[in-house]
């Protein structure tokens, strides 16, 4: 029987309806029926887990929490209300305890990255990088190839690269923003959030390409990267929480029509074009095969080390494209958060200044050159300050999801079906009073130096989970830590800083990562006894 004859036999057909109208009605009925059945199925699958009322049927609650820029408040408050394992979407649960984070990120745990989420955070719309690859075997293969570069192996001198950037930042602040008796407070206040972002970008590009973009030196957002990041982060992170929409946005037809292209004059396309040209210099004529040439004889970089390790030209383009968004924004937020809490906590500020002063006086650190990584690690209070700042403002607020293995697993004492996405509420985990004490919501670095060794170790290890764990551990952690140590010590040994407006010290928005603006500080020359 023909389709039109079949439709004509259906009871909804009346003499006033065309066959097209009838088809439309039945298609609508079919869609509504599918939606109701699938929604019920999704709700029923995780019905045992409490959460906000709409989360059993829609991802919009979580997406809205991200979109508001208040995720750092909404998710912890929600978990406090609903418990240690909380439903935040039809197929999504959120946890906040350290043991679960270790378990789901363990090499033998069988968990994988959630493909829907990670597909949405690709820098290149056509391929994955080690930071977005959801296939565990492919991720491990990529990680093996790029590991040496990220950890400063081979002919790299990661510390020297970072030292160059920090020296330029200190000189800029000294000349343009530092007040002295001679200037009588006439110099403008420094936007510390901005200089922190410039430092992070230049450190990533210096270590990544072998040449910094010059954001610090020129006080300029080269290639509009920071402006683009400000514009896209809220959209991108919110979209990643709604797979039904993100799949459409990143679909091949839409990418062909509207996706970024290396020939674009601005935006992410222009950034990708810049990366392609930079990588092509390291390879034979940019051929499709991407046969690597011998590394540049000049200053070695991550890219040069990758070339020497034999990765293809296409892979090099992808991995370099991921460095900047992954390494600059998170490091900048750590630099910003550390200084915000130090300037807001006089006791910590004074004690750290004292430790630095004593270290210089006793020769533990040099008085004439930028502090080394080895020297910084010998300053216990500095390390406590950095860990406490990471704890109070983790670079990743609500961790990117892992997917429960096919057979299901027991999490927080509850069985969770296979295929479920597990998000981590890092803010809640890092303010757990059972780990950090009753004053867990207070910035107090001393906690890492007090009490018995077992308690201290538990705090150190829990805070360290801010950089994830196991096979998914942050590749850029070493570079980030080198920057943190050096920036904090060099700014504090050279300058005194005071928040201009204590009532409104900065603007803070938190999506999956924190975004800070306008931490304005008055800078004067450091005084030492």
CA 383/CA 376 separation, integer angstroms: 8
Within a 10 A sphere around the Cβ of 454, how many other Cβ atoms? 7
Annotated binding residue 474: yes
CA 338/CA 291 separation, integer angstroms: 43
CA 86/CA 103 separation, integer angstroms: 17
Tokens of 235: 């959209």
CA 491/CA 192 separation, integer angstroms: 11
3-state secondary structure of 192: helix
Helix, strand, coil percent content, the chain, rounded in steps of 5:
55, 10, 35
CA 474/CA 466 separation, integer angstroms: 9
CA 231/CA 248 separation, integer angstroms: 20
Q: How many CA atoms, within 13 angstroms, populate the side-chain half-sphere of residue 363? A: 0
Whole-number Cα distances in Å, 528 to 356, 360, 361: 10, 11, 10
Q: What is the chain's Cα-based Rg?
A: 26
**197 touches 169 (CB < 8 A):** no
| Burial of 330 per CB tally in 10 Å (0-12, 13-18, 19+) | buried
Alpha helices in 186-242 (DSSP H): 192-209, 215-218, 225-240
| Burial of 310 per CB tally in 10 Å (0-12, 13-18, 19+) | exposed
Closest listed residue to residue 399, CA positions, set 118, 51, 58, 106: 118
Binding-site positions for heme: 474
Binding-site positions: 474
């Amino acid at each position: 029987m023909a389709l039109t004859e079949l439709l004509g036999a259906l009871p909804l057909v009346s003499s006033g309806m065309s066959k097209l109208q009838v088809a439309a009605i039945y298609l609508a009925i079919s869609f509504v029926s599918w939606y109701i059945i699938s929604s019920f199925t999704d709700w029923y699958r995780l019905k045992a887990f409490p959460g906000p009322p709409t989360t059993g049927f829609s991802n919009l609650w979580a997406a809205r929490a991200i979109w508001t820029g208040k995720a750092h408040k909404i998710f912890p408050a929600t978990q406090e209300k609903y418990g240690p394992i909380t439903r935040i979407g039809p197929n999504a649960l959120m946890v906040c305890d350290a043991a679960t984070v270790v378990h789901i990120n363990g090499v033998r745990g069988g968990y994988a990255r959630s493909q829907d989420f990670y597909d949405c955070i690709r820098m290149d719309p056509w391929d994955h990088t080690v930071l977005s690859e959801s296939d565990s075997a492919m991720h491990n293969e990529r990680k093996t190839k790029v590991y040496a570069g990220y950890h400063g192996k081979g002919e790299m001198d990661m510390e020297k690269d970072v030292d160059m950037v920090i020296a330029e930042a200190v000189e800029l602040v000294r000349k343009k923003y530092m007040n002295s008796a001679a200037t009588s407070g006439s110099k403008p206040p420094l936007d510390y959030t901005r200089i922190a972002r410039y430092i992070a970008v230049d450190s990533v590009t210096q270590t990544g390409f072998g040449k910094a973009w010059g954001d610090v030196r020129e006080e300029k957002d080269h290639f509009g990267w920071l402006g683009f990041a400000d514009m896209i982060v809220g959209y991108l992170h919110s979209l990643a929480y709604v797979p039904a929409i993100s799949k459409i946005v990143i679909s091949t037809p839409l990418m062909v029509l509207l996706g970024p292209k290396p020939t674009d004059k601005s935006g992410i396309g222009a950034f990708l074009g810049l990366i392609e040209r930079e990588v092509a210099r390291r390879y034979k004529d940019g051929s499709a095969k991407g046969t690597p040439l011998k590394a540049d004889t000049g200053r070695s970089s991550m890219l040069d080390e990758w070339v020497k390790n034999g990765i293809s030209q296409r892979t090099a383009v992808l991995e370099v494209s991921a460095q900047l968004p992954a390494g600059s924004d998170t490091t900048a937020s750590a630099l910003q958060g550390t200084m915000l809490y130090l300037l807001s906590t006089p006791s910590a500020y004074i004690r750290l200044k004292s430790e630095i002063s004593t270290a210089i006086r006793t020769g533990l650190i040099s008085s004439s050159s930028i502090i080394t990584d080895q020297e910084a690690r010998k300053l216990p209070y500095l390390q406590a300050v950095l860990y406490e700042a990471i704890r109070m403002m983790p670079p990743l607020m609500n961790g990117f999801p892992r997917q429960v293995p096919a057979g299901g697993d027991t999490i927080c004492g509850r069985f969770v079906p296979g295929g479920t996405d597990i998000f981590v509420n890092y803010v809640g985990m890092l303010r757990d009073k059972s780990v950090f004490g009753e004053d867990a919501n207070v910035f107090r670095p001393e906690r890492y130096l007090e009490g018995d060794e077992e308690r201290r170790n538990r705090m150190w290890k829990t805070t360290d989970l801010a950089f994830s764990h196991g096979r998914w551990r942050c590749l850029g952690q070493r570079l980030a830590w080198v920057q943190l140590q050096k920036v904090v010590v060099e700014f504090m040994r050279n300058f005194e800083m005071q928040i201009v407006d204590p009532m409104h010290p900065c603007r803070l928005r938190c999506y999956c990562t924190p975004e800070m603006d306008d931490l304005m500080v008055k800078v004067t020359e450091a005084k030492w006894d």
